[in-house]
Amino acid sequence: MPTDSEADPAAAALVAIWTDGGCKPNPGPGGWAAILQFGDIEREMTGFEPVTTNNRMELTAAAAALEALKRPCKVALHTDSEYVRNGITRWHTGWVRKNWRNAAGDPVANMDLWKRLLDAAKPHTIEWKWVRGHAGDIMNERADVLATRARQQTA
């Protein structure tokens, strides 16, 4: 991924990221994956949790991918999770304003991971792109395979 030693940082156009996460059953053992592309450089990341939820794995994938970037970047992050995309682009401002309470006044679910994701996103300029899962997007399908493999290897 991008480093400070690149000859022309202004030419560093875009880091493309695809993320996925899931569990089976939900809740249960879960896996997450991220694929990061910067020019000709590509990195795959995966992880596992023994007891978790689909939403936690989706959030973890996005946060881990952004945390892997070594300097502020322009990012196109692709996710098939409407929960992640809506939370980061619409809902989080209200949660923060209400001291991490949802519309019903209850604590926001997965608050620890939402805070982690917001912190990881701060240095970057991110376009959050939703892609339909299991609909033929090659990179989304690849992230799904990696997340499933991560879940199955250690389940």
Q: Using a pLDDT cut of 70, give the percent of the chain over it.
A: 91
Does the annotation count 134 as an active-site position?
Answer: yes
The CATH number of the domain holding residue 41 is 3.30.420.10
Catalytic residue among 30, 47, 58, 92: 58
Element at 56 (helix H, strand E): helix 54-67
Does the annotation count 21 as an active-site position?
Answer: yes
Could you report the per-residue pLDDT of 19-52, keeping only the tens digit for each?
999 999 999 999 999 999 999 999 999 999 999 9
Give dist(CA 87, CA 20) in Å, integer: 16
Specify if 116 maps to a domain. yes
Does the annotation count 8 as an active-site position?
Answer: no
Catalytic residue among 8, 105, 134, 136: 134
Specify if 4 maps to a domain. no
Q: What angle do CA 30, 143, 87 make, to 5 degrees?
A: 70
Within 10 Å of residue 33's Cβ, how many Cβ atoms? 28
Q: What is the mean pLDDT of residues 49-70?
A: 97
* Containing structural domain, residue 101: 9-154
Could you report the per-residue pLDDT of 100-132, keeping only the tens digit for each?
999 899 999 999 999 999 999 999 999 999 998
Catalytic residue among 47, 80, 87, 92: 80
Does the annotation count 80 as an active-site position?
Answer: yes
Catalytic residue among 20, 22, 47, 87: 20
Domain count, the chain: 1
Answer yes or no: is pLDDT of 11 > 90. no
Specify if 3 maps to a domain. no
Specify if 29 maps to a domain. yes
pTM above 0.75, yes or no: yes
User: Which residue in this structure is represented by tokens 């399908």?
Assistant: 141
Specify if 113 maps to a domain. yes
Within 10 Å of residue 125's Cβ, how many Cβ atoms? 10
